[in-house]
Chains A and B, each alone.
Chain A
Amino acid sequence: MRAERPAKAERFWPITLASVAILFALWAGVSVLGLVNPLFLPGPGLLFSSFIDLLFNGYKGYSLPAHIGVSLMRVALGFGSGAIVGTLIGLGMGAMPLFDAFAAPFVEFLRPLPQLAYLVLLIVWFGIGETSKIVLLFLTALPVAAIAARDGVRNVPRERIQAARALGASPGQIFRHVIFFSALPEIFVGARLAIGIVYATLIAAEIIAGSDGIGWLVFDAGRFLRSDYVFVGVLLIGLMGLGLDFGLRTLERRVVHWAGK
């Protein structure tokens, strides 16, 4: 328990590296040998030159950093607000059975709802500006965060709460000093789950009256089989997702350093 043992993923990094290398070699080989129509699978060289082209010339009126920036802003606002509000709702649900009974139907209903189903409704309610896009991401993150926080509260060991009560903590203090911190690891797990789903929803959000954003870029480029841009965009989205997840994991390790120990 006390001896630090690297996690599996860290010990087996050569295998991870090898899998990426094999995939890359397959891709390069197939495209160099001309086995596939470059419209379906652009080769590494074309992808690189398309990336450079996007980087220097932008795409349909906006520079590549502007597309990425506006997407990150949407993810940050949508995910941030959804995770915070969802966590608060989830904490309330976990702590107060009455509130749980009140809020559960909404949260449980919202969670599996396919976003594409209510895109038009979002336009009707929130218009075509940033609001509807951010609201979509907000609604995506909220139930995931709420359910994680609720379960986090429910899973607090009973003896931990009893110990705090016996030490003289008031109900409010127990919530702030014990329940909240006990639920924090699960809140972080929920946040990481939520950011993954928010990321997957980005394209849906940006096809609401879009004209910018990396998700819209991928969608738009796909319309005329501009597969080089599609691949560049998808790779960028993937890398951004990895980066966000890495950032969240680093934060998680720092904040909830005790989790899993």
Chain B
Amino acid sequence: MAEGIPAAEFVRFADVSVVFGRGAASVQALQAISLSFAKGDFVCIVGPSGCGKTTLMQTLAGFLRPSTGAVSVDGQPIAGPGPDRGVVFQQPALFPWRTVEANAGFGPEMRGIDPAQRRARVETWLARVGLTEFRHRYPYELSGGMQQRLAIVRALVNEPVLLLMDEPFGALDALTREKMQEELHAVWRTSGMTVLFITHSVEEAVYLGTEVVVMSPRPGRIIERIAAPFARKEGDRDIRAIKSSPAFVAMRERILGLIWGMAEG
């Protein structure tokens, strides 16, 4: 970590605004967003459609330059996409002409990382998510859940300091979704990675996040930041037990109330 950067400002959005279009037809997607979080945090962003969640993530990924303000990671301003920030989308966005193995190793291959090291990393991660036996298959031969696991593995093989996920489980069925939540949680817990996670599901956000950021639309801004204790809870990790505990339900309902309030107002 660079000197002089407070630990709580590992990722920093400083007064970030994004305006699409010009003149009368312009739309303010984000208004003066200031948000920082520490290394190792799992930050979930929730909010109704149009609140700018994805836009916010895109400025951090480097796909989008803020109209005003700045985004930095570890004190370094974002100038464009980079392998230090892995990205996972709702659609797996895999390379269908590459095998599972070759998809997973895409990042290191492009970056010219030594093939032996690349193979080792790919093997480790594929084994971890149970894709080893499918390594010579093609993405279209995998189920939706397995495709999304591969997309996550592809990002992780690059060993990013930050993982950006834009509704990664949004297209999965409920059962697969919960299994993926458990797996992602396990990966985060053991790796200590920093994650920015965008979701529509408040339950998912409360379960996975160390912090839940609630945004409101038109223009997109942060209305509340809520620390969530469940991700770092030790001991029994039974997902159903956690999600049905009174504390969990209370927090979930509180956040849902905030979002419903916006919809009504």
Contact = CB atoms under 8 A, between A and B. Distances in A.
Interface stretch (A7-15, A61-69, A125-133, A161-169): A161-169
Nearest to A257: B138
A173 interface: yes
Interface in A157-181: 157, 159-160, 162-170, 173, 177-178, 181
A166 B81 contact: yes
B154 A165 contact: no
A169 B164 CA distance: 17
B106 A164 contact: yes
Contacts of A167: 83, 86, 106-107, 110, 154-155, 158
Nearest to A2: B141
A224 interface: no
Given A164-B106, A168-B111, A157 B93 contact: yes
A131 B176 CA distance: 61
Given A157-B93, A178-B95, A257-B138, A165 B158 contact: no
Interface residues of B, number: 30
B97 A160 contact: no
Interface residues of A, number: 23
B61 interface: yes
B76 to A, nearest CB: 16
Contact of A168 (B83, B139, B140, B151): B83
Given A2-B143, A159-B89, A261-B140, A166 B95 contact: no
Interface in B80-134: 80-83, 85-87, 89, 91, 93, 95-97, 106-107, 110-111
B87 A162 contact: yes
A169 B106 CA distance: 9
A169 B97 contact: no
A258 B155 CA distance: 22
Nearest to B90: A159
Given A159-B89, A167-B83, A181 B158 contact: no
Contacts of A165: 62-63, 80-81
A164 B103 CA distance: 10
B207 to A, nearest CB: 25
Contacts of B111: 168
13 contacts: A160-B93, A162-B61, A163-B89, A164-B106, A165-B63, A165-B80, A166-B82, A167-B106, A168-B83, A177-B110, A256-B97, A257-B138, A261-B140
Interface of B: 61-63, 80-83, 85-87, 89, 91, 93, 95-97, 106-107, 110-111, 138-141, 143, 151, 154-155, 158, 164
